């Protein structure tokens, strides 16, 4: 599980690759929190294009960051989830609070 970050406009793009489960959730959460705080940006985009597996531990990470970012007046978006990840996101109703886009460029538009 790797997390790489970059900036686009007023958003931090957090690209996750590998498998996101309970084993690495705490580490990813900590890295995300510190990188988002250090970046001083308003919005957060999860780029899931290279995420090969996610279970409900990943949902917890997304919901947690949504709470943090929206409390600061920012917006969270999800880009390019796999079919498996998107089914999980929709099952949990995540798409109702965090918009899902087919690509990073579409997710970054307007942020």
Partner 1 sequence: MENKVKIIFDARSVNEGFARVAAAAFAASLDPTVEEIADIKTAVSEAVTNAIIHGYEGRGGRVYLEMTALGNLLTFTIRDRGRGIADIEKAMRPLYTSKPHLERSGMGFTVMESFMDSLAVSSAPGAGTRVTMTKRIHG
Summarize as ranges the residues that interact with partner 1 (CB under 8 A).
19, 21-23, 25, 29, 53, 55-57, 59-61, 63-64, 83-84, 87-88, 91-92
Shortest separation between residue 93's beta carbon and partner 1, angstroms: 9
Nearer to partner 1, 45 or 54 (CB): 54
Shortest separation between residue 20's beta carbon and partner 1, angstroms: 10
Shortest separation between residue 38's beta carbon and partner 1, angstroms: 21
Angle at 89 (CA atoms; ends 84, 94), nearest 5 degrees: 170
Query: What SS3 state is found at 21?
Result: coil
What CA–CA distance (Å, rounded) separates 54 from 23?
11
**Residue 111 CA to chain centroid, in angstroms?**
15
Query: What SS3 state is found at 50?
Result: strand
Nearer to partner 1, 98 or 108 (CB): 98
């Amino acid at each position: 599980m790797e997390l790489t970050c970059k900036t686009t406009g007023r958003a931090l793009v957090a690209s996750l690759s590998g498998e996101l489960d309970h084993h690495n959730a705490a580490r990813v959460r900590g890295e995300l929190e510190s990188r988002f705080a250090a970046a001083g940006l308003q919005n957060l985009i999860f780029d899931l294009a290279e995420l090969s597996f996610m279970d409900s531990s990943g949902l917890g990470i997304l919901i947690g960051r949504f709470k943090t970012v929206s409390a600061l007046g920012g917006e969270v978006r999800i880009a390019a989830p796999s079919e498996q990840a998107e089914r999980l996101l929709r099952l949990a109703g995540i798409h109702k609070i965090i918009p899902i886009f087919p690509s990073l460029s579409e997710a970054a538009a307007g942020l």
